[in-house]
Amino acid sequence: MAVQTLVGAITSTLDQALAADKDIILLGEDIGVNGGVFRATDGLYAKHGEDRVVSTPLDETGIMGTAIGLAIAGMKSIPEIQFEGFLGPAYDQLVNHAARMRTRTRGAVTVPMTVRVPVGGGIHAPELHSDSPESIYVHSPGVKVVMPCTPYDAKGLLNSAIADPDPVIFFEPKRVYRTFKEEVPDEHYTIPIGEAKVVSEGEDLTLVTWGATVFQALEAIDNLPEDVSVELIDLRSIYPFDMDTIAESVRKTGRCVIAHEAPLTCGMGAEISARVMEECFLHLEAPVQRVAGFDTIMPYYKLENDYLPEAPRILQGIKECLAY
Amino acid sequence: MPHHTVFEAKIEHLQILDENGNLDKKLAKDTLNNDQVLYLYEQMRVCRALDDIAFKLQRSGRMGTYPQNKGQEANAVGSALAMTKGNDWIVPSYRENAALFMHGMPMHMVIQYWMGDERGSQFPADLNMTPLSVPIGTHMLHAVGIAWSMKQRKEADRAVITYFGDGATSEGDFHNAMNFASVMQVPTIFYCQNNSWAISLPFEKQMNSATVAQKAIAYDMPTIRVDGNDIFAVYKATQDARKRAIEGGGPSFIEGVTYRLADHTTADDASRYRDPKELDEWIERDPLIRTRKYMESVGIWDDKKQEELDTRAEKIVKEVIEAAISVPAPNKSDFFDYMYAELPEDLRKQRDTMRTTSIGQNPSQIGLKAQPQNA
């Protein structure tokens, strides 16, 4: 059992995966000798060799397209896109090829690929380094989308993603890469894709969130009066997502707040809200509330905390929902 | 020397069989023997017959949009013969049917596909092929990735060929693929069927380059322009490229200069933008005509054999169309069933009920019994 950060858990999981399966290949910008801009592949090049931890040309389209080809040929490719803002050039490959391949060949050609992508804001990064595009890919049938926010979950979900026979986007909330450590078992384990985690149990309101916002949610809950109990759900898997856990909770609490960094409109909060209305209609005591990023461009870092659903805004949303 | 030349380049052109069926015997040495020529001619003839019948099916409303291969068949057959069936990979666009057939794709599946049924791309096991690629120029990267896996696994004697048109070389992904292949030195053969037109845009308005082949020079890739209607030149260039690839020489580029004798697809009308005189000139350079002339000149072909082949080709494509038409219609659930290896619960509900409304998916909420919709 080692005490690790989230990024440390990712590194050690990749290390174990490379050691266990000769067909695994990592490719991306600066991931080799430099260990990646966030050091997520630190030391893997030296240990596993330059032909398995490959620094590619600066070309997201090429990384995604060749990762698809590698996977079609039966390898397990794990491309890294340096920041979520640079998924744009790779979008066509990911959505028009990887996501469609199994269904358009009725299973004859498949793309078992795990796309690692640092995601989200809060680290004073340059423009286009702080977005939260997860719902774009949820709206693209054929891929799976996960976003763990703890070292333990990162290892379990990364192992599941690597073993998955379909393309999985593995979003890594960069704001919590190094904020805390926890014990992570040395041995291989998995967390099934599609299972949410109840972080804390409660009776009065269900708070659903994921990624770095989980920690803003915990801070908001800490600032509630002691007689209010909130059930906090970390979604972890964005698609497929665990509606059963959410619905069970909302049927118990009667109130639901959803918080995410991505823009409000057509964000995952909209989908979850619709599903809560469908599945918990007679149990709802208040309209579902969404605390989200605004429908604006994610601002450069002087104003990023005004954009993000930070703890005070989540706290306000909880209080308003409880007061309804 | 403050100002001097650091790099010079040239593009070579190869033609072995000319428009009149005359063979350059010296260049033809170690290329195709007579049996191979007969085989390739038959492949081209059958492919042409399939085009003709597909066109008629579309016009009579029994098939959707179909892109004819007419006039370009020599590129597909000559290159496909130089690749090893069941060993090498083919990463196609959609105008090289004969190459797919020669490497084991059942012919009726291509027709089934263009009849709107994705099961036409449900290849038999062990067919080393990716499906026809509809978006232009984005599939070449997959060929590079597949070739990369061969290098990674040290699979000597394997290579990948990918086909695309002149139009595709304007796309960014073409250059991404060329650069990756070059940097990684993987066994990929880039085969450009330069048919002069990107739907309605002529070659000279697509690029300001004299050749497509020269684009490979930027990636330090061996490159050649060949007469794409000459099965000998196409075969020779592909054979050389494959030899280089399996010997660790990395990727190669071949530009086959050819011509689309048909419209872009059955949804297109080339008379809106193309001078009929140009078409007439290229009809004379038809690969079937010159191959036949050559075969007759060396005494391995005559009118009787041509009649027999025409009859055989008609019979083959008739059976192919019948096979495609007689495939039972897919289940409604077919478009759900292969979305993921294991269907997520919400998709399962959608599939089983063919409904997206929550009450439709669970009618017991309004006191109704659920009715299975899926058949």
User: Is B260 designated active site?
Assistant: yes
In chain B, residues with a C-beta closer than 8 Å to the C-beta of A103 are 118, 335, 338-339
- pLDDT tens digit sequence for B146-179: 999 999 999 999 999 999 999 999 999 999 999 9
Inter-chain residue contact B141 with A66, CB threshold 8 Å: yes
Q: Tell me the C-alpha distance between A98 and A68, whole Å.
A: 6
Whole-number mean pLDDT of chain B? 96
Distance CA B170, CA B164 (A): 11
- Give the residue from A42, A34, A33 showing the smallest Cα distance to A15: A42
Using omega within 30 degrees of 0 as the cis cutoff, is the peptide bond preceding A141 cis? Answer: no
Find all residues with CB under 8 Å of A27, minimum gap 6, and list them: A54, A56, A63, A66, A67, A70, A77, A78, A79, A80
Please choose, from the candidates A314, A311, A30, A272, the residue with its C-alpha nearest in 3D space to the C-alpha of residue A134: A272
Alpha helices in chain B (DSSP H): 25-28, 34-59, 73-82, 97-102, 107-114, 140-152, 172-184, 203-206, 231-246, 276-283, 287-297, 303-325, 334-337, 345-353, 358-361
- Grouping H, G, I as helix, E, B as strand and the rest as coil, residue B234 is helix
The answer on pLDDT for B372 being more than 70 is: no
Q: Letter for the amino acid at A238?
A: I
Q: So what's the pLDDT on residue B1?
A: 77
* pLDDT higher than threshold 60 for residue A252: yes
Quick check: B103 pLDDT over 80? yes
CB distance from A267 to chain B under 8 Å? no
Q: For A179-200, what is the mean pLDDT? A: 98
pLDDT digits (tens, 9 = 90+) for A14-65: 999 999 999 999 999 999 999 999 999 999 999 999 999 999 999 999 999 9
Average pLDDT over residues A263-282: 98
SS3 A277: helix
Task: List pLDDT tens digits, range B24-47.
Answer: 999 999 999 999 999 999 999 999
Torsional sign, CA B358, B361, B362, B367? positive
Collapsed DSSP state (helix, strand, coil) of residue B227? strand
Residue A219: per-residue pLDDT = 98
Q: Would you say the C-alpha torsion A76, A80, A84, A89 has a positive or negative sign?
A: negative
Across B316-341, average pLDDT = 96
- Whether the CA torsion B43, B48, B51, B57 is positive or negative: it is negative
- Under an 8 A CB cutoff, do B338 and A62 touch? no
Contact state of B149 with A75 under an 8 Å Cβ cutoff: yes
Can you tell me the mean pLDDT for A99-115?
97
Closest to B222 (Cα-Cα) out of B264, B255, B263, B175? B255
pLDDT, position B368: 87
Q: Greatest CA span in chain B, whole angstroms?
A: 91
Per-residue model confidence (pLDDT) at position B125: 84
Whether residue B48 lies in the annotated active site: no
pLDDT tens digits for A126-172?
A: 999 999 999 999 999 999 999 999 999 999 999 999 999 999 999 99
Residue in A with minimal Cα distance to B109:
A105
Q: How far is residue A105 from each of residues A162, B120, B163, B347, measured CA to CA in Å? A: 22, 8, 19, 19
pLDDT at B373: 58
pTM given for the model:
0.96
Consecutive H or E run containing B135: none
Across the interface, which of A51, A72, A141 has its CB nearest the CB of B152? Answer: A51
Nearest CA to A31 out of A23, A40, A22, A18 is that of A40
Whole-number percent of chain A with pLDDT over 70? 100
Cβ neighbours of residue B261 under 8 Å, at least 6 residues apart? B68, B70, B71, B72, B279, B282, B283, B286
Chain A nearest CA to B278, separation (Å) = 36
**Closest-CA distance of chain B to residue A192, Å:** 12
The string of pLDDT tens digits covering residues B141-154 is 999 999 999 999 99
pLDDT of B375 reads 45
From chain A, pick out residues whose CB is under 8 angstroms from the CB of B173: 61, 65, 92-93
Q: What is the DSSP string of B165-208?
A: ETGGGGSHHHHHHHHHHHHHT--EEEEEEE-SEETTEEHHHH-S
**Model confidence at B371: pLDDT above 90:** no
Separation in Å, CA A139 to CA A95, A97, A142, A171: 10, 15, 9, 16
CA distances for B274 relative to B104, B212, B279, B283, B286, angstroms = 35, 21, 8, 14, 18
Burial of B141 (0-12, 13-18, 19+ CB in 10 A): buried
Nearest to A24, CA basis, from A38, A44, A42, A4:
A44
For residue B96, give the nearest of B75, B78, B122 by alpha carbon: B75
Report the alpha-carbon distance of residue B148 to residue B91 in Å, rounded: 14
CB A134 within 8 A of CB A145: yes
Q: Are A289 and A320 in contact (CB under 8 A)?
A: yes
Counting one residue from chain A and one from chain B, the pairs whose CB atoms sit within 8 A come to 142
A218/B278 Cα distance (integer angstroms): 72
Interface residue B331 vs chain A (CB under 8 A): no
Q: Which of B130, B184, B344 sits opposite A72 (nearest CB)?
A: B130
User: Nearest CA of chain B to the CA of A116: how many Å?
Assistant: 18
Residue window 64-83, chain A: list those with CB within 8 Å of chain B: 64-75, 77
Q: Report helix, strand or coil for A150.
A: coil
pLDDT, average across residues A181-206: 98
Read off φ and ψ for residue A171, nearest 5 degrees: -85, 130
pLDDT at B53 over 60: yes
Chain A residues with CB inside 8 Å of B337's CB? 106
Q: Does B146 touch chain A (CB under 8 A)?
A: yes
A97–B138 C-beta distance less than 8 A: yes
CB of A283 within 8 Å of any CB in chain B? no
Closest CA to A6 of A52, A48, A38, A51: A38
What does R_g of chain A's alpha carbons equal in angstroms? 19
From CA A71, how far away is CA A167, in angstroms rounded?
Answer: 9
Enter the ipTM: 0.96
Of A69, A71, A165, the CB nearest to B144: A69
| B294 tagged catalytic | no
Average pLDDT, chain A: 97
Give the rounded distance of the alpha carbon of A69 from its chain centre. 24
